[in-house]
Chains A and B, each alone.
Chain A
């Protein structure tokens, strides 16, 4: 990206925006292919909320970068090494249980994160968070309902949901491990100490998992550095697809 900025809040806004965009993009891949029409529509709703949220973070970041930077520059002209999302949200959709496990783990974190961000010392960021919290709370309810339904549905759905939780759990520790971007945000009062959200997350998630007659296996966390721009191999493909048109026609506007 050609924009350099000395405003440190930009990195944090990009981190928040990238989580929302990348997860929203993944969910939008379901559109037209959902397991049932009502759920196809519901997954699109989640995607619409998250991409909409990403736009708000990027617009604020773009204002602070200035020099003609826009939300689309931030979404379409950064490489995967410049994306600061958690590795969890870029994981491929897998089956419906995988998508719900990824969503359920992220939603529980997202609600806690936004709840803290409402009280951010950055008033513009706080305003975005306040609005997004309502949506995220709804998302968390939706994904928790599915975890329970699948966990306590049939033998097959129980097996699939159980495997999906186990597959996504090793990505969770990154949510609660502060990287430089989180530490700066916490020091300036923009955002929470992410490690402090862990206990509440475990409580939220544990309650639902128990209700679903499932359990969280003991897993070793993966070594992940998404917030430093080091991602899984899948993000490169996601971005190559997403960014293809603006990059093929760099003189065009859309």
Chain B
């Protein structure tokens, strides 16, 4: 036992001194497990998160908007790739992670279980959902696991574009016709509370938070991140003349923060439990794509195997051509 305790203590001191953990380093099993769960969940969120926005690519109202949205959703697929790779450095294969997602064993962010009903949702999702994601991801740029931290640095650059593009859509609608303005306000009404829930319940109710903080995986509390997001977003809503759907929202001079109303956590837990408006559709869409793609993936690996069998073995001269 003694050597393990010693290793764990040294590990804690190592991360506390802001050192990065790399794949070949010794790490506690629980640290590895926590990271695999968190990074794979994060990867799944990027990939499942493509669906609600892909829903509007074919209906984007201008060619410019179509290109921006398509590129955005494509970026999310790229984020999924970086994150699956980061998780693979911990010894779990992408296939295994995807099987867990499709079997309903792995989670993804609940926000993607809400429907995108109008074009304004493309604005609200970029502005609020990517905006909330950034809050979390900027923190994760400094997370203790090296590959995760580096993936986050790449991802954050793109996320801030997404947030700005979403806000640009909202601004344009808010300054448009009556109908467009109503569309923007309706989208804000529907996405505001679910966006606040993205940070998760208060830390005293999140059993793993303290441990993640000690491991320097996580560096800020859920409540602090949520507060930062609200403080940043409320003035942006005011600037474009939209109102936040929270009668209790007001600036608290003393705290230097906005006070806000109570979050309905029963909704959050219902969605997490699988009863959100689109949980079934999202998982079905992923399962369908995976099942219908199976023969393509099999063909690609069969072809690759044939190719390497055809190639002459390394180090041996190729068979000379008959003259």
Chain A residues at the B interface, C-beta cutoff of 8 Å: 21, 25, 28-29, 31-41, 44-45, 47-48, 51-52, 54-55, 58, 71-72, 75-76, 95-96, 148-150, 152-154, 156-157, 160, 241-242, 244-246, 249, 251-254
Contact with A along B53-64 (1 / 0, CB 8 A): 010011111111
Find out whether the CB atom of A28 lies under 8 angstroms from the CB atom of B58.
Answer: yes
Nearest-Cβ distance from residue A161 to partner chain B, whole angstroms: 8
Which of B26-34, B146-154, B260-268, B299-307 forms part of the interface with chain A?
B299-307
Find out whether the CB atom of B81 lies under 8 angstroms from the CB atom of A38.
Answer: yes
Interface residues on B, range: 35 or more
Find out whether the CB atom of A153 lies under 8 angstroms from the CB atom of B58.
Answer: no
Nearest-Cβ distance from residue B80 to partner chain A, whole angstroms: 6
A254's partner among B62, B289, B293, B297 (CB-CB below 8 A) is: B62
Find out whether the CB atom of B306 lies under 8 angstroms from the CB atom of A32.
Answer: no
| Residue B172 at the chain A interface, CB threshold 8 Å | yes
Find out whether the CB atom of A153 lies under 8 angstroms from the CB atom of B299.
Answer: yes
Find out whether the CB atom of A29 lies under 8 angstroms from the CB atom of B58.
Answer: yes
Find out whether the CB atom of A31 lies under 8 angstroms from the CB atom of B59.
Answer: no
| CA–CA, A52 and B67, complex, Å | 7
Nearest-Cβ distance from residue A100 to partner chain B, whole angstroms: 9
Nearest-Cβ distance from residue B296 to partner chain A, whole angstroms: 4
Which 3 pairs, one residue from A and one from B, show the smallest C-beta to C-beta distance?
A: A35-B293, A153-B299, A157-B299
Find out whether the CB atom of B293 lies under 8 angstroms from the CB atom of A156.
Answer: no
Residues facing A in B294-323 (CB within 8 A) are: 294-300, 302-303, 306
Find out whether the CB atom of B295 lies under 8 angstroms from the CB atom of A157.
Answer: yes
Contacts of A48 in B (CB 8 A): 67, 70-71, 74
Which chain A residue shows the least CB distance to B84? A37
| CA–CA, A154 and B285, complex, Å | 25
Find out whether the CB atom of A36 lies under 8 angstroms from the CB atom of B70.
Answer: no
Contacts of A39 in B (CB 8 A): 296
Find out whether the CB atom of B74 lies under 8 angstroms from the CB atom of A34.
Answer: no
Contacts of A246 in B (CB 8 A): 61-62
| Residue B292 at the chain A interface, CB threshold 8 Å | yes
Find out whether the CB atom of B176 lies under 8 angstroms from the CB atom of A241.
Answer: no
Whether A249 touches B179, Cβ cut-off 8 Å, given contacts A28-B57, A41-B81, A54-B63, is yes
| Residue B78 at the chain A interface, CB threshold 8 Å | yes
Find out whether the CB atom of A47 lies under 8 angstroms from the CB atom of B63.
Answer: no
Find out whether the CB atom of B61 lies under 8 angstroms from the CB atom of A245.
Answer: yes
Find out whether the CB atom of A51 lies under 8 angstroms from the CB atom of B296.
Answer: no
Find out whether the CB atom of B289 lies under 8 angstroms from the CB atom of A33.
Answer: yes
Which chain A residue shows the least CB distance to B119? A245
B77's partner among A37, A95, A156, A249 (CB-CB below 8 A) is: A37
Contacts of B302 in A (CB 8 A): 153-154, 157
| CA–CA, A55 and B68, complex, Å | 13
| Residue B20 at the chain A interface, CB threshold 8 Å | no
Contacts of A37 in B (CB 8 A): 47, 77, 80-81, 84
Whether A31 touches B63, Cβ cut-off 8 Å, given contacts A150-B296, A154-B299, A252-B179, is no
B59's partner among A160, A242, A252 (CB-CB below 8 A) is: A242
Contacts of A58 in B (CB 8 A): 63
Nearest-Cβ distance from residue B111 to partner chain A, whole angstroms: 16
Contacts of A44 in B (CB 8 A): 70-71, 73-74, 77
Find out whether the CB atom of B177 lies under 8 angstroms from the CB atom of A249.
Answer: yes
Residues facing A in B63-120 (CB within 8 A) are: 63-67, 70-71, 73-74, 77-78, 80-81, 84, 119
| Residue B50 at the chain A interface, CB threshold 8 Å | yes
Contacts of A33 in B (CB 8 A): 54, 285, 288-289
Contacts of A21 in B (CB 8 A): 63
Contacts of A29 in B (CB 8 A): 57-58
| Residue B51 at the chain A interface, CB threshold 8 Å | yes
Contact with A along B152-191 (1 / 0, CB 8 A): 0000000000000000000010001101100000000000
| CA–CA, A45 and B70, complex, Å | 9
14 extra A-B contacts, CB within 8 A, seeds A96-B296, A153-B300, A154-B299: A31-B73, A32-B54, A32-B73, A32-B285, A33-B54, A35-B292, A40-B50, A41-B77, A44-B77, A52-B67, A148-B303, A154-B302, A156-B295, A245-B59
Nearest-Cβ distance from residue A223 to partner chain B, whole angstroms: 29
Find out whether the CB atom of A31 lies under 8 angstroms from the CB atom of B61.
Answer: no
* 30 A/B residue pairs, CB under 8 Å, sorted by A: A28-B57, A29-B57, A29-B58, A31-B70, A33-B288, A35-B293, A36-B296, A36-B297, A37-B47, A37-B80, A37-B84, A38-B81, A44-B74, A44-B77, A51-B67, A51-B70, A72-B62, A72-B63, A148-B303, A150-B303, A153-B298, A153-B302, A156-B295, A156-B298, A241-B59, A245-B119, A252-B61, A252-B176, A254-B65, A254-B172
